[in-house]
Structure 1
Amino acid sequence: MDNVRHMPRDQADHDGPEQHDAERYVLGGCMHQPKQIPAVRGTLSRTDFALPAHELIWDVLGDLYDKGQPVNPISLRLELEKRKELRRAGGIGYVAQLGDYGGDPMYYAAEVRRRAELRAEAELGRLIVQKATEPDAEPGQAVTFIDDYLKRQAERAAGRSGDPADALLAELLDASSLDNMPTLEPLVGDLLHLDSLARIVGPSGHMKSFVTIDLAGHIGTGMKWHGHYVRQGTVVYLVAEGARGIRKRVRAWEKHYGLKMDNVLFLPRPVQAMSPEWDTLIEAMRRLQPQMIVIDTQARISVGVEENSAKELGVVVERIEELRRATGACVLVIHHTGHVGEHGRGSSSAKGALQSELHVSKKGDNAKNIVVTVKVGKQKDDEEGGDLQFGLKVITLDGEAKPDGRPVTSVVLESLDHRPAELIKGTPEWLVTVLDKAQVPLKWGSPRVIRWCTEYGIQMRKEKVEEAVRIRKRRDSFDEVRDARNDLPPNLPRDLESELPHDQGGSSRETTETPRSHLPPTPGGAPGDVPPRPPSPRPASKAGGGTEGDPETPDDKRPICTICERPMSQDWANRGYDTHLGCDPATGSHPDRPTHPESDSHHGAA
């Protein structure tokens, strides 16, 4: 076997199936991220694919995208079946397998392009050797292959026929083709979007990081951000400035909302944008695919860069854009303003690359009166909304204390639009909260509440106490009606619901069955006045006893009147009354003798 030439392992496996994985990652990546197809087209052409099946599949994917149809393994299979080319593309199993290849298609497109150029150069060398070794070969003839090769490369670079202007014209889109362009996907309401570059600017110490941490926590957990839509996903926070204070802020946020700040990852050190490590960061984020990447701050990742130089800062912005393109995430950069004005410090050239810019400022000198304002400074494609204002809530961290024994605290944001107004002491609303906390029975009338307030040293005018009692009773009545409605069957017909008694959740039919304009005049009243309802029949009463009816029931078993606190009839209580018919809610007095029902029917309930 001496005449057998041994082939090195790397040459023997040169055409192995793994050599075409880059092409599979391009096709699979474009199915996962169709919006990358135009960019991939700018990197490679159909002839760059080594396998004919991949060239066919690439053509079909491009046609689906151009028509605005879904680009995924299922639509690809259906289109290949329609063209009767599914077998030439590798069959159902192979097409479905391509869907397992994800990642950044632009990264692998560059690799496919590189290997295509190497194949072209190898083919050029083969042709030169073949031409130069022919029996009738003449010197200089093989050079023509080199000229053809260089011409094809120039045409390839031009994109079409070799004319750069023609290639540029091919990129122009008509109005109907604009619908195929991917639209911005919202991340946080109309403020932040995926696959965009955004910036938060503000003076030093004006709560920029607190606003950003609050955004990160809501995106990670999927909660609405103070009323704004949030798309849940992973957040990566580069804590390039103030890393030691981040823990307190996160713990305070978690305690305030009662849940862990899930899906938020922190890198507690800077990564310089102009260093090789930035490329490592890009690759790591490409694998992780977060929804948002926070850079805190711009200055800390661009050390040594002259920020007043448009040229140098432009290079930093391009490096950040590379991070955005590789991940499709919202890259949010925190930056300081200058000494004067609201503009970001340094060259203004960076602002042109921003999709969104938020200005953060604060007023006040302590947590109780500080107001943090978030103002939309720029929205490239959306209307700039109104300002957002937040207050601060101090949070004490459990189980932590300073060396002198004082508690460890931090603050969280509270939207002033959603924060309940503070109650003023001495108002009826304030008394309602006091009575609720003390669990004072709702059935107590004003005289009894007044005595309770006096006992506990609460000094309030009589009319305010009465108003507080009315507020509690109205609220209780509303809750009863609401509960009654909730107990009704969900499919109850509307006409049957209207037949229910009004106090059991039914709807009043006065306005539909007895309109005022059709009522006859009532004696002593104007035309159209509603006649008064007849009073409820008054049961027999014991003279002077105040215990209407049911004389055989012992007093200690009877319901108590909420005004005079004397026993009353069980039958009377069953009708829904909690006072004697003649009791006066203003004075708390009980009549000495029975009163005619018609004269005091309005005293039936306190």
Structure 2
Amino acid sequence: MDNVRHMTRDTADPHGPEQYDAERYVLGGCMHNPRDIDTVRGIITRGDFALPAHELIWDVIVQLHGDGQPISPLTIRLDLERRKELQRAGGLAYINQLGDYSLDAEYHARIVRRDADLRAEADLGRRIVQQATSPDAEPGRAVTFIDDYLKRQQERSAGRSGDPADALLAELLDAASLDNMPTLEPLVGDLLHLDSLARIIGPSGHMKSFVTIDIAGHVGTGMRWHGHYVRQGTVVYLVAEGARGIRKRVRAWEKHYGLKMDNVLFLPRPVQAMGPEWDTLIEAMRRLQPQMVIIDTQARVSVGVEENSNTEVGVVIERIEELRRATGACVLVIHHTGHVGEHGRGASSAKGALQSELHVSKKGEDARNTIVTVKVGKQKDDEQSGDLQFGLKVVTLDGEAKPDGRPVTSVVLESLDVRPAEEVKGTPEWLVGVLHKAQVPVGWGSPRVIKWCAEYGIQMRKDKIEEAVRIRKRKDSFDEAQDARIALPPNLPRDLESELPHDQGGSSREPEETRRSNLPPTPGGAPGDVPPRPPSPRPASKAGGGTEGDRGTGDADGPPCTICDRPINPDWAARGYDTHIGCDPATGSHPDHPTHPHDDAPHDAA
């Protein structure tokens, strides 16, 4: 040991394990000399401890001292076991180790207080810098942070006096002081906020992780998230589930957007919230100060916790809250829903602690017709926004192939609300094109179109289908809409007339000859002959036998009209017509040269 160079307290690493020694000496000193507890309580409060485990141990020491119970590693361990918090406090070995720290508790309590004040000032500086550099920064708003800091210092001083009543009175605010409280700072639009606990829930396999990766990439790079404001910052993604697939999803995102997913850090393993390593995670995040911490999933960081117990889940949520308080970040937890309903699986107490909750669901099995919906399930202090819908775009990864030679692919989200509507499947404009291409009658109302979409696997919201029906009815003509160059869904039959039920406008599957033979005979004709069309009220046109220069003169090259004997336009005749559109079979007159019944001379215009 002689060759070991001992470092003084001043030159030691401020982020090394030495920084917690003062806290250990406070706890160990109070174990050996309980008479010092009241003196130490006048110097520090539980919030002055940097490690959450030390806060727990201090609470037990104060409780035992107030009850007149002996204070020792054994009694502390028993009380922590009763509270089911022994592991959070570091375990039995750590409690016994604190017994070796038996120096002056009062002296080290002043060091703990000094370090706590420095951390508070550092946090104040960080918040001022963040505010000053944010896109919506305004002069003078930093004063709010300073006032809040001074208020907290007064509260801490009152708490250190040793009188709990003084500490509580110092925390009371009048109505005017509420304006000095910090407000929520947006991270992603009105959906996610800094210094808050949020959760994304949804059934297994419903694209929760894809939505989360997409949000993380936009926060890290500072891009707007599908039209929503984003505050750029560091993101830490705790990949406690599905770590092997994360690389492929990130590479697909980078290729789609053409840039690296900067400022996003991944930890590809779980850290148990009830284990001692969680305190290490909290300290690491305290140093890094990310804007966002993602925990994917809640179940994988709370192994062994009774998921249906509000008590045990409440402890897990408190551990996650400790992470939030240490960083001021948005802590986003991914969780599964139960087998029934849209609520998070397990105990319901977790939802009460959330600032925001987003529900993610999908419809469709193939990437080409899948729609992912993000619904705001809870927004504690803001108005809940409308649903967000996304399609999936398949991305082929460059230079990668499966063992059988097929390309490696993944998918990314594409907003159905932000992109041009006519390009995106699932929009009303897209459905209009599909309906026209499939020759669905324009006169169909919303119920029949909704039923038709369900039969052919087109999954859309009811309001979007209704909007598509309204758009179709506003069209000038069915022929114009049929020219839309929009592809049919891949599972939609090409021969819609033969596939649709007969009562929905489809074919009865009878041969043409059979259907015509069932028609009643026309006077003077054979069974099956088509009855003549009734006279059209429309005026004659060039296509119907007239010309622009002389609407009463037909085309000499066309066959004669069977009513007025004037020539018909050859193109019109080629379509199977043997009369002009407006010829009246009762009078035998051409529409431009009307003849009164029983009169061979044209009528005068008067």
In which range does the TM-score fall when normalised by the shorter chain?
0.3 to 0.5
Normalising by structure 1, we get a TM-score of 0.47
